[in-house]
């Protein structure tokens, strides 16, 4: 087991605790943030990324992937061997499940008073605004391509700053990137752009005793897994081809 396993578990846990937490705050009945809207959600997710990256790095995962699509992309660029990549992905799913469980506990009084099961599911996993699997896949591929390709650009020695970011600046830049993706590309599918972020909490939704939760929409669950993996792989291959 790589030393970075623990960092990926806790970093992803923090990512989901804050990210899915802001969705719950905005959507659940009688929450003080109820009705806060898309700007609040995208901003909360940006802070979630920042906090998750710092946590992962502090606990032994300096790359702070927090995302199987990122891990696979880094592996395709020679940054990890297959064994390390697999352990990172396992850690990310564990952390995502724990984070979602903590969100459930945080808002324990609000599930029963929230009558719409769709809003409850949205606090755990993404769903399309218009259900069209082909178009939804395309959206997730583009969003994740943007995420991974621009991450490589941010940390490239050929970057606009004349070198890689100063120590400690990277998490803020990636958080701003995720904020931008949510604002610009998040409308069609809710910008999962991360298989662990979607599937781990979806499993939590399925197994937790959430009052009046409804189904977990397994028919859509493959889209936010397959799309991000494709998008991340394309980003890695293009970055290699361009010498980024």
The confidence score (pLDDT) of residue 43 equals 98
pLDDT digits (tens, 9 = 90+) for 53-63: 999 999 999 99
Mean pLDDT of 212-221: 97
Q: How many residues does the chain have?
A: 244
The confidence score (pLDDT) of residue 189 equals 98
Mean pLDDT of 96-123: 98
| Widest Cα–Cα separation across the chain | 54
The confidence score (pLDDT) of residue 168 equals 73
Residue 21 has pLDDT above 90, yes or no: yes
Burial of 166 (0-12, 13-18, 19+ CB in 10 A): exposed
Mean pLDDT of 124-133: 98
What are the residue ranges of helices labelled H in the chain? Answer: 5-27, 38-58, 68-76, 82-106, 117-122, 133-154, 170-185, 195-207, 223-242
Q: Give the Cα separation of 204 and 104 in Å (integer).
A: 9
Q: pLDDT over 90 for what percent of the chain?
A: 91
> Shortest CA distance to 97 belongs to which of 15, 23, 192?
15
Say what the pTM is.
Answer: 0.95
Q: Give the Cα separation of 146 and 134 in Å (integer).
A: 19
Mean pLDDT of 148-165: 78
pLDDT digits (tens, 9 = 90+) for 41-50: 999 999 999 9
The confidence score (pLDDT) of residue 3 equals 86
> Shortest CA distance to 85 belongs to which of 195, 218, 175?
195
pLDDT digits (tens, 9 = 90+) for 163-206: 666 557 889 999 999 999 999 999 999 999 999 999 999 999 99
DSSP class of residue 165 equals P
Residue 162 has pLDDT above 70, yes or no: no
The confidence score (pLDDT) of residue 161 equals 56
Burial of 183 (0-12, 13-18, 19+ CB in 10 A): middle
The confidence score (pLDDT) of residue 202 equals 98
pLDDT digits (tens, 9 = 90+) for 23-41: 999 999 999 999 999 999 9
Mean pLDDT of 77-99: 97
In terms of pLDDT, which residue wins out, 243 or 29? 29
């Amino acid at each position: 087991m790589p030393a970075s396993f623990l960092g990926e578990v806790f970093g992803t846990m923090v990512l989901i605790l804050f990210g899915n937490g802001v969705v719950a705050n905005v959507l659940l009945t009688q929450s003080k943030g109820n009705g806060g809207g898309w700007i609040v959600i995208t901003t909360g997710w940006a802070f979630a990324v920042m906090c998750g990256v710092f946590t992962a790095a502090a606990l032994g995962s300096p790359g702070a992937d927090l995302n199987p699509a990122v891990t696979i992309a880094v592996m395709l660029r020679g940054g990890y061997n297959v064994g390390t990549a697999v352990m990172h992905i396992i850690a990310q799913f564990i952390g995502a499940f724990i984070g979602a469980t903590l969100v459930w506990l945080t808002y324990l009084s609000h599930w029963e008073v929230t009558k719409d099961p769709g809003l409850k599911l949205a606090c755990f996993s993404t769903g399309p605004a218009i259900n069209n699997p082909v178009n939804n896949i395309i959206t997730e591929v583009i969003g994740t391509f943007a995420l991974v390709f621009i991450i490589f650009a941010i940390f490239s020695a050929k970057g606009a700053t004349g070198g890689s970011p100063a120590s400690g600046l990277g998490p803020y830049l990636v958080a701003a990137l995720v904020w931008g993706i949510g604002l610009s590309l998040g409308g069609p599918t809710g910008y999962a752009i991360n298989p662990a972020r979607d599937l781990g909490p979806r499993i939590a939704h399925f197994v937790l005793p959430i009052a009046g939760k409804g189904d977990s929409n397994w028919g859509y669950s493959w889209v936010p897994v397959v799309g991000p993996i494709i998008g991340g792989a394309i980003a890695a291959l293009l970055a290699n081809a361009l010498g980024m």
